[in-house]
Amino acid sequence: GLPLVLIEAMKRGVPVVATNAGGVAELGEDNLDVTITSNTEWSDFVNALKEMITKVESNQIDSRRLIDWTENRYGFEKVSSLWLKALFETDAFFQLG
């Protein structure tokens, strides 16, 4: 799955470092303010964390950009419209038939 705590942090402009487990990889898609490792190895996570520290210290993280990215992808309007389509236009949503 996708831990909601990561999305909650991002909606507050807090950069995320995480391993590529479950659905987490999608948080790094076209997202400059998040670092997702390519696997779940501890050493890779430590390296990613060091990379994020460098980004934070050099002002490469843009909290507003991160908030906007998260809202566009996981905000109420986006998610609720997808749920409505899944519930009321099931065949089209799931491309059935």
The residue written with tokens 């997808």 in the block is 82
pTM of the model as a whole: 0.84
Q: Is the dihedral of CA 68, 69, 71, 77 positive or negative?
A: positive
Through-space distance between the first and last CA atoms of the chain, rounded to whole angstroms: 28
pLDDT digits (tens, 9 = 90+) for 45-87: 999 999 999 999 999 999 999 999 999 999 999 999 999 999 9
Left, alpha or beta for 61 (phi > 0: left; psi -120 to 50: alpha)? beta
pLDDT higher than threshold 80 for residue 94: yes
- 11-47 confidence digits (pLDDT tens): 999 999 999 998 899 999 999 999 999 999 999 999 9
- How many C-beta atoms lie closer than 10 Å to residue 45's C-beta? 18
